[in-house]
Chain A
Amino acid sequence: MPAEYIPIVIFLVLATLFPVVTLLAAKLVRPSSPYAAKLRPYECGIEPESDSRGRYTVRFYIIAILFVIFDVETIFLFPWAVQFKTLGVFGLIEMLIFLGILVVAYIWVYAKGALEWV
């Protein structure tokens, strides 16, 4: 069983080596003459006003939380889908109850306006 993963490890090593070798090769041929103005963050030629890692809108955080909940749901669905025939009607009803609870949660989230992006 783990033997199937050996080619994947080889592939991973090669796929990592490719960018490393390219970067090292580029180092041999490319010029390098940095100076202070060139290294400043790009802001259309104007002096940067403030630090870039400031605060940002909380919407991104809400999306991340919702993602965790609904993605775990998807993970539960995968094994059920694969074993659908074996589990039969019992599995189907169980899963419909599970989905029903989630749909209630989805409607609640929708009604609360968490999916609105203003």
Chain B
Amino acid sequence: MSPLMVLFALAKIVVILLVLLTVVAYAVWFERKLLAHMQCRWGPTRVGPHGLLQPLADAIKLLTKEDLTPSEVFPLVYLLAPFLSLVTALLAFAVIPFGPETRVGGMDLFQIADLDIGVLFILSVSSMGVYGIALAGWSSNSKYSLLGGLRSSAQMISYELAIGLSIIGVLLLTGSLSLRAIVENQAGAYWGFLPRWNIIPQFAGFVCFLVAAIAETNRLPFDLPEAETELVAGYHTEYSSMKFGMFFMAEYANMVTASCLATLLFFGGWHGPVFGPAILQALLPLLWFSLKVLFFLFLYVWIRATLPRFRYDQLMAFGWKFLVPLALGNLVVTSLVLAIRWS
């Protein structure tokens, strides 16, 4: 790579990172506002119109709070844990394509790096996030934190299995691990009107993926690691100020990544009706992608407002006794059907 290309890549990455952080900040606002309206409340209204400046106010508050390091923690691990959580959560974004290949000066605009192992990269990076939570729970020297950390690691590794298995159905259809190739494969329509999204041939896989993704990001109804009413705040009980903020941001960044992944794998990515002048044709795919991601974020909040929290034994039983066999069955059926069709 020439120095100019590196500079260009740097500028692109800074822009994408800023957009990502803004989306993460506003995901918090979106969730609070939506949840409030679903419960007949107003939500944030004081800071700016419709509380739109609330994320900014939250950031200032977190920055100016006292940062306590409780006695008897392992200082290095205690400091490392929020870093691990946040950096891995952000890093998963490096392979997500937002729109069709648009090359300017030999560099793709809408993706940081098109790895041919994109899916594996996301799986491996997001599973590194378990370390952040487990280490935070263990190093804090608090019983709540330890319980939260243990629960969370067990939950995340169990549901990671279901995620991995449910994605394989899509890989069988596509024959590639590159996220861009997976989306390109979903172009067009069945019988002229039904979009060729993977959700149609892979419905069982989609359900499995969605449930496992919610559990993997520790969101309700699977938020056992935090469980305010029993564990106070779980693994981040002993964290304050910006370190707490980092865990918070990591959780929402993971939500955004999971929504993007669901969009790319099952909802046809940026595919949608494209029309009008050239500039509109270039921008519409971005709009479709954003709308689909927003739909999944909405789904997260909707599920949170609707369902109560699971019990821990129910959670583990659901993961191991229902989702894993379902994903395995889906995998076998998909491969058999494909083999019959191709032979």
The answer, among A15, A42, A56, A71, for a CB contact under 8 Å with B17, is: A15
Does any Cβ of A come within 8 Å of B114's Cβ? yes
Does any Cβ of B come within 8 Å of A25's Cβ? yes
A3 closest partner in B (C-beta): B1
Interface segment among B165-173, B209-217, B273-281: the answer is B165-173
Chain A residues closer than 8 Å to B95, beta-carbon distance: 8
Does any Cβ of B come within 8 Å of A105's Cβ? no
Q: Flag if B144 contacts A42 (CB, 8 Å).
A: yes
**Bound-complex Cα distance A99 to B324 (A):** 13
Given the interface pairs A16-B87, A30-B66, A85-B175, the reply to whether A5 lies near B338 with Cβ below 8 Å is no
Interface of chain B: mostly helix, strand, loop or mixed = helix
Given the interface pairs A82-B176, A118-B313, the reply to whether A64 lies near B144 with Cβ below 8 Å is no
Q: Flag if B143 contacts A81 (CB, 8 Å).
A: no
Q: Flag if A63 contacts B94 (CB, 8 Å).
A: no
Bitwise, A38-74 to B at CB < 8 A (1) or not (0) is 1111110000000111001001100110110011001
Does any Cβ of A come within 8 Å of B238's Cβ? yes
Size class of B's contact patch? 35 or more
Q: With contacts defined as CB atoms under 8 Å apart, how many contacts are there between chain A and chain B in the complex?
A: 198
Does any Cβ of A come within 8 Å of B343's Cβ? yes
Q: Smallest distance from the beta carbon of A18 to chain B beta carbons, Å? A: 7
**Bound-complex Cα distance A56 to B82 (A):** 24
Does any Cβ of A come within 8 Å of B46's Cβ? no
Bitwise, A87-118 to B at CB < 8 A (1) or not (0) is 01100100110010001001000100001111
Does any Cβ of A come within 8 Å of B321's Cβ? yes
**Bound-complex Cα distance A96 to B317 (A):** 25
Q: Smallest distance from the beta carbon of B182 to chain A beta carbons, Å? A: 11
Given the interface pairs A53-B146, A82-B171, A110-B321, the reply to whether A4 lies near B114 with Cβ below 8 Å is yes
Q: 4 additional contacts, CB 8 Å, given A15-B17, A43-B144?
A: A41-B141, A66-B320, A71-B164, A78-B120
Interface pairs (8), CB distance under 8 Å: A15-B90, A30-B67, A36-B71, A41-B140, A41-B142, A43-B142, A56-B146, A67-B158
Q: Which 8 A-B pairs have the closest CB atoms?
A: A117-B313, A81-B171, A74-B164, A41-B142, A15-B90, A67-B157, A39-B71, A26-B242
